[in-house]
């Protein structure tokens, strides 16, 4: 199989080295007979901020679960830090979709953040973390880092959607992870809040490698270094920027008269500060056939994959 050629990071990108943190090779996955991911390749290097975009049911969350080792690929391989995903769990900070946690749960913000220390010791019995002064100080620092100082005594249900999301990021930071994986972090935040949240995520880049799964276009305002489009297949490009072609891949073809079509054709004017994709160096991408397609091989949008059915 081909290896994606590495391209130089964006000018001024912090701490990007060519050490691969994530290496996905020719990965296929299906739920039953329903193919979800088809011959996917992806390389993420240390210090990069990868935005994973795609429609609902396109396989974004499945890709994240494969990276965490919670699902096993049908074929192909997933390597994290040169090893199996399960072995890398202690080095990963995972921020699940907020809907997986219980809002009415009797737990303070401080205790939620302390849960981030879980997993350093295995086993059903016994203590996974200690609630000593050092751990509590560390939790306070994590809360300060996400802008929630002084909130540690609040109940988790009293926080706003954006604050809750920052609290679970603080929880992920407790284990001092090298890689942060976030699944739809803005799903429970209003649009204004999600701009702020993505901006905040940009500040974490550097010591952490970030992979953020989203179908929220406000991620376009954040300082991501690469984009991957997942809709059964995966198209990866280094450099920040959304083009009408990418949006077409995400949302399908629309007539110009359709509001979505009008939006797509106006998008390059919406985010004028970002470089257009076709100005960026070509990076290896994959198509269903597994052939090498360069990202600037437009105008015709990169093979719209068979519309994945909603999961």
Residues forming contacts to other proteins in the complex (CB under 8 A) are 68, 70, 86, 89-90, 92, 94, 96-97, 100-102, 104-108, 111-112, 115, 118-119, 122-129, 155, 168, 171, 175
Rounded to the nearest whole angstrom, what is the least distance from the CB of residue 142 to other proteins in the complex? 15
Q: Identify which of residues 128 and 253 has a Cβ nearer to other proteins in the complex.
A: 128
Rounded to the nearest whole angstrom, what is the least distance from the CB of residue 174 to other proteins in the complex? 10
| Token pair for 236 | 């990866």
Alpha-carbon distance of 251 to 225, in angstroms, equals: 22
Alpha-carbon distance of 117 to 130, in angstroms, equals: 9
Q: Identify which of residues 212 and 227 has a Cβ nearer to other proteins in the complex.
A: 212
Rounded to the nearest whole angstrom, what is the least distance from the CB of residue 166 to other proteins in the complex? 15
Q: Looking at the DSSP assignment, which residues form a beta bridge with residue 109?
A: none
User: Of 191, 150, 190, 186, whose CA–CA distance to 168 is shortest?
Assistant: 186
Task: Give yes or no for a contact between 94 and 68, defined as CB atoms under 8 angstroms apart.
Answer: yes
Cβ of 234: how many Cβ atoms within 10 Å? Answer: 26
Q: Identify which of residues 155 and 260 has a Cβ nearer to other proteins in the complex.
A: 155
Q: Identify which of residues 88 and 228 has a Cβ nearer to other proteins in the complex.
A: 88
Rounded to the nearest whole angstrom, what is the least distance from the CB of residue 179 to other proteins in the complex? 12
| Strand ordering across the sheet containing 226-231 | 92-95, 179-183, 209-214, 49-53, 226-231, 233-238
Rounded to the nearest whole angstrom, what is the least distance from the CB of residue 116 to other proteins in the complex? 8
User: Of 116, 98, 113, 307, whose CA–CA distance to 214 is shortest?
Assistant: 98
Q: Identify which of residues 162 and 239 has a Cβ nearer to other proteins in the complex.
A: 162
């Amino acid at each position: 199989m081909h290896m994606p050629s590495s391209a130089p990071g964006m000018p001024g990108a912090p701490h990007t080295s060519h050490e691969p943190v994530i290496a996905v090779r020719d990965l296929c996955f299906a739920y039953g007979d329903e193919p979800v991911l088809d011959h996917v390749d992806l390389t993420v290097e240390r210090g990069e901020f990868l935005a994973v975009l795609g429609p609902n049911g396109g396989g974004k969350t499945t890709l994240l679960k494969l990276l965490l080792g919670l699902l096993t690929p049908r074929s192909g391989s997933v390597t994290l830090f040169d090893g199996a995903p399960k072995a890398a769990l202690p080095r990963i900070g995972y921020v699940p979709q907020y809907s997986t946690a219980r809002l009415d749960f009797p737990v303070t913000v401080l205790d939620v953040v302390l849960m981030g220390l879980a997993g350093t010791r295995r086993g059903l019995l016994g203590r996974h973390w200690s609630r000593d002064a050092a751990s509590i100080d560390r939790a306070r620092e994590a809360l300060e880092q996400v802008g929630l100082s002084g909130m540690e005594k609040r109940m988790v249900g009293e926080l706003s959607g954006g604050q809750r999301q920052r609290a679970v990021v603080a929880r992920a930071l407790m284990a001092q992870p090298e890689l942060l994986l976030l699944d739809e972090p803005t799903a429970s935040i209003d649009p204004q809040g999600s701009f702020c949240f993505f901006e905040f995520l940009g500040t974490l880049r550097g010591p952490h490698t970030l992979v953020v799964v989203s179908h929220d276009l406000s991620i376009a305002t954040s300082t991501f270094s690469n984009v991957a489009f997942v809709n059964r297949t995966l198209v990866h490009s280094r450099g920040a920027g959304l083009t009408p072609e990418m949006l077409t891949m995400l949302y399908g073809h629309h007539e110009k008269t359709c509001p979505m079509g009008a939006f797509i054709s106006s998008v390059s004017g919406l985010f004028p500060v970002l470089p257009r994709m076709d100005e960026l160096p070509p990076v290896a991408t994959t198509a269903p056939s597994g052939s090498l397609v360069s990202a600037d091989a437009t105008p015709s949008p990169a093979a719209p994959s068979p519309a994945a059915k909603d999961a």
